[in-house]
């Protein structure tokens, strides 16, 4: 049986480009190598490749045409949004088309009575809340990249954010979506009702990383803006004390809107960058936000501050107004770019662990840091155990690249070993592909493959990502080649 590479001869490549030119405006196709460079990777830059063509359709009909052309010619298709992903999930396939959906960026409808917004996949996360604000509503999931990341990408990776503890991930905040199959057929999944018969395809597609279909429209749930929100920032002189405080808050029956943790290296980098008033001498800080009515927030702030004092907090700060609250969150949401200022590169992991294992896992990460000789800054969603260790390294040094990858793999193995999982919101993509057998048995992986095959029989949607495919009618590489460019 022919492999995808054998099928994709030069005549096929030329036929592909000829058909794409016939259905898309000239400025919606990028074929030359240098102009494709900005699309060779997502935010995880150590994995790179170039496609045959980059296309930026302006309408859903054009997306359908691109899919139909690629299906007819047996050409792989990789969907891409804003490129803020962190697992190489949108890295191009060298024998395929990169389908960029950023031009589908319209907010189609906001229904303040139903508290919903219907949007195209290229709409940025933050712009939904900005558009809904005049109705006193907002969209709850708020990844740190919310100013740039697109809702289509959020659906594909099941993104969360600093408020996911109380309000859930993307899957908990969307009601319906329209997706195109690999053949370009439109499917409506979910509904505005509270439930629907049959299998829960909404949950299946959310977080499916572009392996099952292409999202072209999403109906999201909007929430009333809380009357007030206040942040308690607590500094601790040890990682153990801060980790213990995370579990203590939940054990006290308080569900904060957000409960984030940052260690000393992350705190110092964020403070130098954002000047948020973080205690630079703390071994770790917690940011605990309460929202709701003034009465309940005041009560919870009092309870949380008392709890943190009891557990040995060395400093306590409570936001005094909305501007102060925003500043405290600015430091946390700026942590990734802030850490990027203190090393040539960083490698962000995404394992998720039980809350009760936070202290043990962080200490193990520091032990691994010493073993590999690479610094690590920890900044993460402590309330739901979603780790984001930032491993600092120099990508120009092949030895450091290998060490960073091994270090990251050990963190993922550690997360699974303590009862957690390989990813919380960044996805599997290329980055975690080889680690999937660490969490899933061969039978489970075969079931994943069967689901993929049911929606995509030719295995042309985002091949080589998410699921280790070992059979069927195409040859998959276990890990696509990496290309580092000067």
Residue 282 — pLDDT band, cuts 50, 70, 90? very high
Residues forming a β-bridge with 161 = 142
Give me the pLDDT at residue 193, please: 83
pLDDT, tens digit, 9 for 90 and up, residues 382-419: 999 999 999 999 999 999 999 999 999 999 999 999 99
The overall average pLDDT reported for the chain is 93
Looking at residue 314, what DSSP letter applies?
A: S
* CA–CA distances in Å: residue 153 to residues 214, 355, 403: 10, 27, 29
pLDDT, tens digit, 9 for 90 and up, residues 472-483: 444 434 344 444
Q: What are the two backbone dihedrals, phi and then psi, of residue 190, each rounded to the nearest 5 degrees?
A: 80, -175
Give me the pLDDT at residue 11, please: 63
Q: What class is the 107-224 domain?
A: alpha beta
Report the candidate in 450, 425, 479 with the shortest Cα–Cα distance to residue 155.
425
Global pTM reads 0.91
pLDDT, tens digit, 9 for 90 and up, residues 71-94: 999 999 999 999 999 999 999 999
Give me the pLDDT at residue 1, please: 31
The CATH classification number of 228-337 equals 3.30.70.2190
The strand pair at 97-100 and 53-55 is best described as parallel
Residue with tokens 């993929």: 452
Average pLDDT over residues 87-109: 97
Residue 484 — pLDDT band, cuts 50, 70, 90? very low
Same CATH fold assignment for domains 107-224 and 343-434: no
Check pLDDT > 50 for residue 6.
no
Per-residue tokens: 35:
């102009």
Give me the pLDDT at residue 446, please: 94
Give me the pLDDT at residue 471, please: 54
| Residues belonging to the chain | 486
Per-residue tokens: 306:
């008392």
Give me the pLDDT at residue 45, please: 86
Higher pLDDT, 12 or 192: 192
Which residues are CB-neighbours of 154 under 8 A, at least 6 positions away? Answer: 125, 141, 143, 170
Distance CA 189, CA 481 (A): 35
Check pLDDT > 60 for residue 286.
yes
CATH value of 343-434 in 3.30.2090.10, 3.40.1280.10, 3.30.70.2740, 1.10.3720.10: 3.30.70.2740
Per-residue tokens: 255:
């569900």
Check pLDDT > 90 for residue 195.
no
Average pLDDT over residues 446-459: 96
Other CB atoms within a 10 A radius of the CB of residue 436 amount to 17
Per-residue tokens: 233:
């920032």
Report the candidate in 102, 120, 87, 105 with the shortest Cα–Cα distance to residue 30.
102
Give me the pLDDT at residue 12, please: 75
What residues does each domain of the chain span?
107-224, 228-337, 343-434
The strand pair at 214-221 and 116-119 is best described as antiparallel
């Amino acid at each position: 049986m022919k492999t995808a590479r054998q099928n994709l001869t030069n005549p096929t490549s030329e036929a592909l480009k000829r058909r794409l030119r016939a259905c898309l405006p000239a400025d919606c196709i990028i074929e030359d190598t240098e102009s494709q460079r900005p699309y060779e990777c997502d935010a995880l830059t150590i994995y790179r490749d170039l496609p045959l063509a980059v296309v930026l359709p302006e309408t859903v009909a054009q997306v359908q045409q691109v899919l139909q052309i690629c299906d007819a010619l047996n050409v792989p298709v990789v969907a891409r949004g804003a490129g803020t992903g962190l697992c190489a999930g949108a890295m191009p396939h060298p024998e395929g088309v990169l389908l960029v959906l950023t031009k589908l960026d319209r907010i189609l409808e906001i229904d303040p009575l139903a508290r919903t917004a219907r949007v195209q996949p290229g709409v940025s996360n933050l712009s939904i809340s900005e558009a809904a604000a005049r109705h006193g509503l907002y969209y709850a999931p708020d990844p740190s990249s919310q100013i740039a990341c697109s809702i289509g990408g959020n659906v594909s990776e099941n993104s969360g954010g600093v408020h996911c503890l109380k309000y859930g991930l993307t899957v908990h905040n969307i009601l319906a979506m329209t997706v195109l199959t690999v053949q370009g057929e439109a499917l409506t999944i979910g509904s505005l009702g509270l439930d629907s018969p049959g299998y829960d395809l909404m949950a299946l597609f959310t977080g499916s990383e572009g392996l099952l279909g292409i999202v072209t429209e999403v109906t999201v749930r909007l929430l009333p803006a809380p009357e007030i929100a206040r942040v308690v920032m607590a500094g601790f002189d040890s990682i153990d004390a801060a980790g213990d405080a995370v579990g203590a808050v939940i054990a006290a029956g308080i569900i904060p809107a957000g409960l984030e943790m940052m260690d000393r290296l992350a705190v110092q980098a964020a403070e130098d960058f954002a000047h948020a008033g973080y205690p630079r001498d703390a071994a770790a800080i917690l940011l605990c936000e309460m929202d709701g009515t003034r009465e309940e927030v005041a009560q919870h702030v009092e309870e949380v501050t008392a709890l943190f004092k009891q557990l040995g907090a060395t400093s306590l700060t409570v936001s005094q107004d909305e501007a102060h609250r925003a500043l405290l969150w600015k430091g946390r949401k700026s942590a990734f770019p802030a850490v990027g200022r203190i090393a040539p590169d960083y490698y962000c992991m995404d394992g998720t662990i039980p809350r009760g294992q936070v202290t043990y896992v962080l200490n193990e990460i520091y032990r691994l840091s010493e073993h590999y000789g690479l610094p690590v800054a920890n900044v993460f969603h402590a309330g739901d155990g979603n780790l984001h260790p930032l491993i600092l390294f120099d990508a120009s040094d092949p030895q450091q690249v290998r060490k960073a990858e091994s270090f990251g793999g050990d963190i993922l193995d550690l997360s699974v070993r303590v009862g957690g999982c390989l990813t919380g919101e960044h996805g599997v993509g290329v980055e975690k592909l080889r680690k999937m057998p660490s969490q899933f048995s061969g039978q489970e992986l075969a079931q994943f493959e069967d689901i993929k095959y049911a929606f995509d029989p030719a295995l042309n949607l985002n091949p080589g990502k998410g699921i280790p495919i070992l059979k069927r009618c195409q040859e998959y590489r276990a890990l696509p080649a990496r290309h580092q460019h000067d």
